[in-house]
Amino acid sequence: MRVLITRPRPASDRLAGLLATRGIDSAVEPLLDIRRRTGVTIDLAGAQAVLFTSANGVAAFAAATPRRDIRVLTVGPASGEAARAAGFADVMSADGDVGALAALVGRTLDPQAGAVLHAAGADLAGDLAAMLAPWGFTVRRVVLYDAIAATVLTPETAGLLRQGGLDAALFFSPRTASAFVTLVTRAGLVANLSRVSALCLSANVVAALDKVSWARIRTAARPDQDALLDLLAP
């Protein structure tokens, strides 16, 4: 089996190593290039918590400020693990999507206790401020990085698609899924996807992929990497 990994580096390289330990070959096609912004001021005055919707946000925040003494709520296990590894002690994970994170904030925080800071990229998968407005929360968003979409498939991935050399592709976000469909269409390789299974982290990812025909589309039982990789089991 050969699996296409579409995550940005270095996350894609780590995942390739993990798959190798399971005897699964992989090819890496980083559809997004994460570029941290420099000179960003992070104002934590009056903030009761920081919200992270990606591990990239955690890494960018940790690089921009030494503060680790604030409560952290994350969208899922990967971002939660990243926050703990970065030195945050008080971390809770919603184990879901942005909606689940908003619900966790609503259940556990008091809107009268101060604003919440959303440390994020320039492109958002969901509007946390709008989701939390009914609870009365003030959300301050700080943009710490840009995710630049690839403009062309690498020759290696294009060749694998032409030759039928891919069995499955892993998709972790709607944006990477949409980027892949765009690039495959541009390369004239849409018909080749009929031999590839799309393995998706969530229903939102599926919605970005079902514009083209795949061998099949499967969704992880939970929105985390372990559940996604469970779909590779025989």
pLDDT of residue 202: 87
Cβ neighbors of 33 (< 8 A, separation 6 or more) are 8, 147, 148, 150
Given a cut of 90, whether residue 45 has pLDDT beyond it is yes
Whether residue 4 contacts residue 26, with contact meaning beta carbons closer than 8 Å, is answered with: yes
pTM of the model: 0.84
Q: How far is CA 102 from CA 20, 79, 107, 183, 222, in A?
A: 36, 15, 9, 32, 17
| pLDDT-above-90 percentage for the chain | 84
Can you tell me which residue has the tokens 């992270």?
Answer: 52
Q: Confidence band (pLDDT; 50, 70, 90) for 204? A: confident
Contacts of 158 (CB under 8 A, 6+ apart): 187, 189
Strand bridging mode 47-52 / 32-36: unpaired
**What mean pLDDT do residues 188-216 have?**
94
Spatial CA neighbour of 139 closest among 170, 176, 105, 90: 105
Angle between helices 77-85 and 55-64 (to 10 degrees): 20
Q: Residue 124: is its pLDDT beyond 80?
A: no
Which 8-state DSSP code applies to residue 45? T
* Range list for CATH 3.40.50.10090 in the chain: 2-31+150-230, 35-147
Q: Which fold has domain 35-147?
A: Rossmann fold (3.40.50)
Q: Average model confidence (pLDDT) for the chain?
A: 94
Specify the CATH number of the domain 2-31+150-230: 3.40.50.10090
The torsion angle over the Cα atoms of residues 16, 21, 25 and 28, rounded to 10 degrees, is 0
Q: Provide, rounded to the nearest whole percent, the portion of the chain with pLDDT above 70.
A: 100
Residue 63 tokens read as: 């690089």
Count Cβ atoms below 10 Å from residue 123 Cβ, excluding itself: 14
Judge residue 179's burial from the number of C-beta atoms within 10 Å of its C-beta, 0-12 exposed, 13-18 middle, 19 or more buried: buried
At residue 125, does pLDDT exceed 80?
no
pLDDT, position 224:
84
- Letter for the amino acid at 132? L
216 φψ region: left (φ > 0), alpha (ψ -120 to 50), beta (else): beta
Nearest to 212 by CA among 177, 166, 161, 173: 177
